[in-house]
Amino acid sequence: MQVQLTNRQQHILWATVRHYIATAEPVGSKALIEEFDLGVSSATIRNVMGVLEKSGLLYQPHTSAGRIPSDSGYRMYVDQLITPSGASAPRTEALAKEVEDTLQKRLHWEDWSLETLLQGAAQILATLSGCISLITMPQTHTAQLRHLQLMQIEAGRIMLIVVTDGYETHSKLMDLLSESAETQPDPEVIDRELQIVTNFLNSHLRGRSLLELATLDWSELDQEFQRYGEFLKKSVAELTRRTLAPSATQIMVRGVAEVLRQPEFSQLQQVKTIIHLLEEEQDQLWRLIFEASEPEDLGKSRVTVRIGAENPLEPIRTCTLITSTYRRGSVPVGSVGVLGPTRLDYESAIAVVAAAADYLSEAFS
């Protein structure tokens, strides 16, 4: 049921959330009067906090303590009390600009491998957010062929190299001819033919997805190049199986040690379950954080915020997970996100995730 709050109730809820995020201490009326200009008495604040508690937005961890936000309280804070035109807007805009500038200065797309780039982006995201950062490797079945190269490594041994539009490289080495072949072609002839075949394939296949390459009819090659047809068919099929298989490095994870120092993670068993999820059950986590739905405005990233019990995975049901997709053109290919306690600086975390997703989308496009 949707809770309707008055302006005063909204203001006091906002102040309570802000104070608790900053201090990690239960909030009382005295603390709010000292920190915020609420324009009301301590008694009024206590009455309003009582109403907010009855509405399920605040609760008392102990009978003699102040109050702290519930998952529902954080949800209302995120959905209704954070606005682009609010008082925190200049701060979040500045932080988004800082993320973009830092990524541009420290990441070098032309010189680094794809995995190294995403590891660097994950580290920057963890540092700026103070959370565990999560960046998925791009989905290679949506990747398109940028360049293909055939080269002779030694007599009868050919390497196929495929470079995707995300600058991810895959290679496959195979024997061109069987050992039972009566004659071996002149290596110089093979080199010339390989270059011709390479040029032919690039002109016809550039821009196609790897999945398309695996289903091509290689018999369409000119008759004089038929001996390469079976080699290409087997090589591309093997590359496709390899790239579509789950990868042990499918999710880049950074910032674990820092965030686990937060008081919310003082229970050893809780820490163990989170680390187990991050290290051993990434397939479950991947399905949760990879959001493939289309936002209304493809020029901006849609940020998803899951708070506490909204997370379907038990190990993180006391955490907040904030994610967004990065894209190649209009196609979602991966996700970027942060994982932290529900006591989270939501404005900053949302701004950081959105800025990182936008940067990666621009880079991949």
pLDDT tens column, 91-124: 777 877 888 888 888 887 666 677 888 888 999 9
The confidence score (pLDDT) of residue 218 equals: 66
pLDDT at 20 over 90: yes
d(CA 10, CA 77) in angstroms, rounded, equals: 9
Count of Cβ atoms closer than 10 Å to residue 173 Cβ = 12
Share of the chain above pLDDT 70, in %: 79
Residue with token string 């995730």: 353
- Strands, E assignment, 42-189: 58-59, 68-69, 132-136, 145-154, 157-164, 169-175
**Cβ contact 158:151 at 8 Å:** yes
pLDDT at 361 over 50: yes
Main-chain dihedrals φ then ψ at residue 338, nearest 5 degrees: -135, 150
Model's pTM, two decimal places? 0.70
Query: Which tokens hold the place of 279?
Result: 């290290």
Residue type, 315: P
Residues in the chain: 365
Start-to-end Cα distance in the chain: 42
Least confident of 46-55, 150-159, 217-226, 245-254: 217-226
Domains of the chain: 7-81 (1.10.10.10), 88-137+248-364 (3.30.450.40), 144-244 (3.30.390.60)
pLDDT at 169 over 70: yes
51: Cβ–Cβ under 8 A, 6 or more apart, which residues?
Answer: 9
